[in-house]
Structure 1
Amino acid sequence: MTAIETATVDAGCFWGVEHAFRRKFGSKLKRTEVGYAGGQTANPNYRQVCGGDTGHAEVLQIDYILAELSFEELLDFFYRSHDPTTLNRQGGDQGTQYRSSILYHNEEQRVQATSFTDRVRPKFGSKGIATIIEPVGQFYKAEDYHQLYLDHNPSGYQCPTHFERSWEKIEQSHH
């Protein structure tokens, strides 16, 4: 039987995060779903989350085949595909719903996320890393029109921070 793992991350507006991960990993991802997690409001909708009062973030949840893709590979891309140095902000998007976070599903993911974050922290220089590592809690699937949004709306909004950087470029720009 194939081992499938679930990972949940927040790196700003979920449309661009989903698009970037799907473009990078393709068929190694068994499922991508955008939604809301990390807050206290039950069954939130997009308008409520954008209002900033639910505590939820716009997140991407991924199911992946462990034999084909590791959690560390996902973490590596996560840190290289957004700006983890800004608190509650990606590009022009501001608010706690756009925070940088890794929402772990088990103790092993927590340990790996903490260790990987500590390892890459020096690459971001004096700005540091604002990424929060926290339990996933309850995940609420976003409305259908948000799923694969940029596939269905190719000219739709994509945060300008969502692109893949090399570690060399990151180190150069933060030192």
Structure 2
Amino acid sequence: MKTFSLALSGLRRNSLRLALGVVVLQTAACSFAGEDAVSIAPPQKDERVSTAGTEKAVLAGGCFWGVQGVFQHVQGVRQVVSGYAGGSADTAHYERVSEGDTGHAESVEITYDPSQLSYGTLLQIFFSVAHNPTELNRQGPDHGTQYRSAIFPENAEQQAVAQAYIAQLDAAKAFGAPIVTQIERYNGFYPAEDYHQNFLTTHPTYPYIVVNDLPKVSQLKQLFATRYSEQPVLLQTAK
């Protein structure tokens, strides 16, 4: 279909994602085919409040388009970059990561102001809205270890907060199944290609975004109204 092919010239997603786009274009209206958000309690254990500079968090929750788009609408976030974590620098490229054997996960690196927003609150939004933490090596239509749910703590405090929060949510049976999110060793974050950045904002009519990701932004606004920013913080990329 010409409209579909022109939506992103040269961008190759996996066959499931392409098939989903064709189905949506052939229907007069579409419903949300992704995961419903879940209202969950904030973490009982969180990082210490800091007023010095900014901090970073690296999270993986399926396709980075939607995860980046969600966190770009969170107050206190200064920048969100789509990229790859969990593998080595030489394989941190979309075509290689898509093969599913590099160890990488599609991830986002969030730079935030810890005087306005805590690491624990980022995790609350991550688990509640940005993805489904009970799906193993998949999110929605996307399958493979590159779409796994993972947290890459950059220090011991972040790791302790993440471990405690997962235990808290599982104990409370916050979801209908156990959380499968992996806490992995942070060994670097590699930004994705420019055409992936700000994808939700710059391609709001792209079928995959309409079906899977725009509802997440709406759910963020509904469940985290005091944290929601109408204007997204977009990443500056090379022209």
Contact 2:82 2:196 in 1 (8 A): yes
Tell me how far apart the structure 2 counterparts of residues 66 and 3 of structure 1 sit (CA, whole Å). 8
Partner of 1:95: 144
Q: Find the residue that maps to 2:55 and give its secondary structure.
A: strand
2:109 counterpart (61, 84, 88): 61
Runs of 4 or more consecutive aligned structure 1 residues displaced over 3 Å after TM superposition: none
Q: Does 2:183 correspond to 1:141?
A: no
Tell me how far apart the structure 2 counterparts of residues 129 and 14 of structure 1 sit (CA, whole Å). 19
List runs of 5+ in structure 1 lacking aligned partners: 167-175
Contact 1:89 1:96 in 2 (8 A): yes
Partner of 1:169: none
AA aligned to 1:106 is N
Contact 2:80 2:108 in 1 (8 A): yes
Contact 1:57 1:98 in 2 (8 A): yes
Q: Find the residue that maps to 1:102 and give its secondary structure.
A: strand
Q: Does 2:171 correspond to 1:123?
A: no
Contact 1:41 1:54 in 2 (8 A): no
AA aligned to 1:160 is N
Tell me how far apart the structure 1 counterparts of residues 139 and 152 of structure 2 sit (CA, whole Å). 18
Shift of 1:110: 0.2
Tell me how far apart the structure 1 counterparts of residues 137 and 66 of structure 2 sit (CA, whole Å). 16
Contact 1:36 1:142 in 2 (8 A): yes
Partner of 1:29: 77
1:105 counterpart (119, 129, 154): 154
AA aligned to 2:72 is R
Partner of 1:83: 132
Q: Find the residue that maps to 1:160 and give its secondary structure.
A: helix
1:86-132 deviation digits (Å, cap 9, x = unpaired): 1001001000010001110000000000001111112124x201100
AA aligned to 2:59 is V
Partner of 1:3: 53
Structure 1 vs Structure 2: percent identity of aligned residues?
A: 41
Shift of 1:3: 2.4
Kindly name which structure, 1 or 2, has the bigger radius of gyration based on alpha carbons: 2
Tell me how far apart the structure 2 counterparts of residues 138 and 21 of structure 1 sit (CA, whole Å). 20
Partner of 1:172: none
List runs of 5+ in structure 2 lacking aligned partners: 1-50, 224-239
TM-score between both structures, scaled by the size of structure 1: 0.86
AA aligned to 2:80 is T
Aligned length: 163
